[in-house]
Structure 1
Amino acid sequence: MNLPGWVAEASSFRDPNGYVYYWGGAPFRRINKEHEKHYERLLQSGLYEQLVQQRWLVPHQEVEAHSHPGDGAYKTIAPERIPFISYPYEWCFSGLKDAAMLTLNIQKKALDCGMTLRDASAYNIQFLHGRPILIDTLSLGVLEKDQPWGAYRQFCQQFLAPLLLMSRRDPRLNQLCLTELDGIPLRLARTLLGRHAYLSWSAFVHILLHSRCEEYSSVRFVKTATRDGRFSERAFRGLVDSLESAVDNLTLKQSVSQWSNYSTDSASYSDVSLQHKIQTVRHYLERSQAREVWDLGANTGTFTRMACQAGARVIAFDQDPICVEANYRQCKIERLDVLPLVLNLANPTPAIGWQNRERRSLLQRAGADTVLALALIHHLAISHNVPLPMLADLFAEMGVWLIVEFVPKDDPKVQLLLQNREDIFSHYTLQEFEGTFSRRFTIEDRTSIIGSKRTLFLMRRRSACR
């Protein structure tokens, strides 16, 4: 049933307790009668107020129900809107770790109030003002006496397993969650960890033994949690404490990558050139009156943080997880409204899940007013053979304003890209670049960077080009 102004959230069909929909573009959450006792306990126990005060749970207002389809409605709530929805397979190590720690902290608070997280999906966490926050109010339910944590396996698959693999093996292994929407299967995690599954107590217990018990009988595993087959609250708290210790002790072993020192590489910019570039970008940000910025190829975030400090909310993308990690940590220290994400622009996040609608693609989430593309064009045009017209189309789809840097073919970095391949890029010239991008954008300003052959442009999308 379709009603004017009513749009269902495509990812909200699995929960029998309610669903998310949009009315006039604003998000709402319907709560079904089956969830009444859980919702009332959440409010009466004081847990909701505690979580909202600590900014661990997205706040909401109870509102009048809209004429939406279906029977059995109990209440309708209007949660605070999350400006940009990201997914766990786009998060860096520390982002996923912070989300995991938040989940466990909420579980501990819930136990104090006689409640529990009935599921521990990483997709229930989003980032708001640079911090993780729980967005699924209906995941909190009344604690059933002597029952084990039903979300234990889910937590291990969606948080602990990818964190262990990123820490012990390779930070890129979080990308496995793109093909495993329910989290990395514990048996697969055990195989990929290899000897690390035996050397780490947390991996041994929560991954290796957990997966072995699943292979034989998950029921048998639960029943042996205590002598009499019951799972006491003390055992519950012990499990959560064990998981918390496991996550908290994990660190990212790799700290340097091919691109992590790019922003300080003197082969790209002298001190004078870099300062001129910074001044010019800052001026362009002011002219565009940027409020929501997408920084593409953000590296370790020098210009990301500049945009945020100028008053913009920034989503920063880079394909190097080490660069994203460094950016995330620095933004966390400075408490900036920045969300650094791992993304290969030549192969961006696709739409996946049920009917390819459950998780949105990058471009389905586009809507920035300003796009930064600094020291990026040559990588896409030469390393990935993407024609300039297609790059112009992409940027026009992402935002209204474009701050872009053209790096010419005789630049040392471009020469490095061409070192072991044939130069088939006769159209990669400044003149061709300006002509191509002028079809999608008006060029508001151009600046040659002092001491460099690179050029910065401020462009505005033509109104009919979206």
Structure 2
Amino acid sequence: MTLQVVAGSFRDPSGFVYTKNGTLYRQVNRVFAEEYDAVRASGLYEELASAGLLVAHAEDDPAAAATPDAHVVLRPERVPFISYPYEWSFGQLKDAALLTLDVQRRALDRGFALRDASAYNVQFVDGRPILIDTLSIGRYTVGEPWIAYRQFCEHFLAPLALMAHTDVRCAALQRQYLNGIPLDLASKLLPTRTRFSPSMLLHIHLHARAQQKYQHADVKAETGGRRMTTAALRNFLTSLRDSVEGLKWEPAGTEWADYTTNTNYSDRAHDAKKARVAEFASRAGARVAWDLGANTGLFSRAVRDAGVPTVLSFDIDPAAVERNHRAIKASGERGITPFVLDLTNPSPAQGWAHEERMSLAERGPADLVLALALVHHLAISNNVPLERVAAYLAQLGRWVVIEFVPKSDSQVRRLLTNREDVFPGYTREGFEAAFAPHFTTAACVPVEESERWLYLLERR
């Protein structure tokens, strides 16, 4: 028997997540028994799960418990990929915030409330947010403010406001501040004009001031010390929702968001490349694919349509990822979830003992990795040797569909403009030699109307 507690599941004494013989479980400890039973009896769990707001779960055999103090053992549906808020686009973080408020409103209607509002309690499946922490809901005491208000503002409202009003790249602050962006910092970084916005003034600027004043007090003091009727709390939640919905960010045309329309080969050649990528994906028999440098997800969709049920679409450009996310929402399509990722500085292992949040590689490997029109950016724009590119891709996936773009290609010539060519090994022969220790070549074909080559590689 193998039992392993999920490294990031230790902060809540109510329970924890673990795997046993490969099955995922969540244990509800006896200390939370009354709360859990009350929520369960209310029908709230069923309501949330049927609405697609909470991950579905079933009560399992108590013999599957990890420790003797178990009250109930749950078997939740697995989320295909665990992502983190600093890997989400603006629209994804906004959708996760609205989901959290929706769950809080539904809970309040039945006499319950979210005990915390951590963004890490939300994951994305098929591009849509879902709450995964079954134990984050408990009884609500009438007259009390929402205990998770501050956390909601730090995890959702503050980063969204900074992305909308200051710079979308402020999203990266979430990687530094795993417990949420401090409100005093957000207040300092936001432009002065936001103080004339009633919602930003109340929930960010005045909230930050109150937080500093009552830093050793409880949430009641921080929210003014007043008792709050249930009706007043509903109005307060509506105010928060209006604040979130009022934040806008438009993904302006950027170099990479427009990249798919600025290629140097014809539509016919492009379609032929898509067909070949789909063929390679089908040949690999993949169930999970990671598309690195996916842009707005054109080839992610080709792979999905070829029969790969789960495709993660990564790109460094938040505008491209946002466009991809919006396209998924607008069409209602499934099978693709986009994320923001700088492959030269991928998400590291973070948090307590470097184990609470997993690195990108620890969340793999994928069955299939796509690296299309990517290697020249890594090797030439970022000076990453081909040998290191090969070694890292071998960590990430069993099969790799990869495109080699030679120096004679106009896109590479553009990268070499105004800089010394210090890449003598960047040749097709050098590429093949760098990848040979890690992969065998299953197929190699030219990309029509170009000097590019497309490879299907299998890890040794």
Match of 1:385 in 2: 383
Q: Is the 8 A contact 1:305 1:331 kept in 2?
A: no
User: Distance between the aligned counterparts of 1:225 and 1:276, measured in 2?
Assistant: 60
Q: Which amino acid aligns with 1:99?
A: A
User: Distance between the aligned counterparts of 2:275 and 2:219, measured in 1?
Assistant: 61
SS at match of 1:425: coil
Match of 1:157 in 2: 154
Between the two proteins, what is the percent identity of the paired residues? 46
Match of 2:24 in 1: 27
Aligned ranges for residues 60-459 of structure 1 at < 5 Å? Answer: 60-66=57-63, 70-217=67-214, 219=217, 222=220, 229-266=226-263, 268-312=264-308, 313-334=310-331, 335-459=333-457
Once the 2 structures are TM-superposed, how far is the Cα of residue 197 of structure 1 from its aligned partner? 2.7
Q: Is the 8 A contact 1:6 1:24 kept in 2?
A: yes
User: Distance between the aligned counterparts of 1:66 and 1:169, measured in 2?
Assistant: 52
TM-score, normalised by the number of residues in structure 1 = 0.95
User: Distance between the aligned counterparts of 1:446 and 1:143, measured in 2?
Assistant: 62
Q: Is the 8 A contact 1:129 1:336 kept in 2?
A: yes
User: Distance between the aligned counterparts of 1:457 and 1:51, measured in 2?
Assistant: 45
Once the 2 structures are TM-superposed, how far is the Cα of residue 61 of structure 1 from its aligned partner? 1.3
Pick one of 5, 10, 13 that aligns with 1:8. 5
Q: Is the 8 A contact 1:348 1:362 kept in 2?
A: yes
- Of the structure 1 ranges 135-144 and 66-75, higher mean CA displacement relative to structure 2 is found in 66-75
Once the 2 structures are TM-superposed, how far is the Cα of residue 89 of structure 1 from its aligned partner? 0.7
1:4-41 C-alpha deviation (Å, 9 max, x unpaired): 41111111111011111110122111111221121112
Once the 2 structures are TM-superposed, how far is the Cα of residue 64 of structure 1 from its aligned partner? 2.1
- Of the structure 1 ranges 196-205 and 100-109, higher mean CA displacement relative to structure 2 is found in 196-205
Q: Which amino acid aligns with 1:33?
A: R
**Structure 2: which 5+ runs fail to align?**
none
1:41 corresponds to 2:43: no
1:63-113 C-alpha deviation (Å, 9 max, x unpaired): 123476655321111111111100011000111111111000000100111
User: Distance between the aligned counterparts of 2:454 and 2:64, measured in 1?
Assistant: 51
Quote the RMSD (CA, aligned, Å): 1.7
SS at match of 2:328: helix
SS at match of 2:62: coil
Q: Which amino acid aligns with 2:106?
A: K
Once the 2 structures are TM-superposed, how far is the Cα of residue 220 of structure 1 from its aligned partner? 8.8
CA 1:261 to 1:58, structure 2 compared with 1: closer, same or farther past 3 Å?
A: same
**Structure 1: which 5+ runs fail to align?**
none
User: Distance between the aligned counterparts of 2:288 and 2:74, measured in 1?
Assistant: 27
Once the 2 structures are TM-superposed, how far is the Cα of residue 376 of structure 1 from its aligned partner? 0.2
Once the 2 structures are TM-superposed, how far is the Cα of residue 135 of structure 1 from its aligned partner? 0.5
User: Distance between the aligned counterparts of 1:107 and 1:284, measured in 2?
Assistant: 45
User: Distance between the aligned counterparts of 1:385 and 1:175, measured in 2?
Assistant: 23
User: Distance between the aligned counterparts of 1:220 and 1:123, measured in 2?
Assistant: 23
User: Distance between the aligned counterparts of 2:245 and 2:305, measured in 1?
Assistant: 30
Once the 2 structures are TM-superposed, how far is the Cα of residue 439 of structure 1 from its aligned partner? 2.2
SS at match of 1:230: coil
User: Distance between the aligned counterparts of 2:422 and 2:160, measured in 1?
Assistant: 42
Q: Is the 8 A contact 2:49 2:56 kept in 1?
A: yes
- Of the structure 1 ranges 435-444 and 133-142, higher mean CA displacement relative to structure 2 is found in 435-444
Q: Is the 8 A contact 2:282 2:307 kept in 1?
A: no
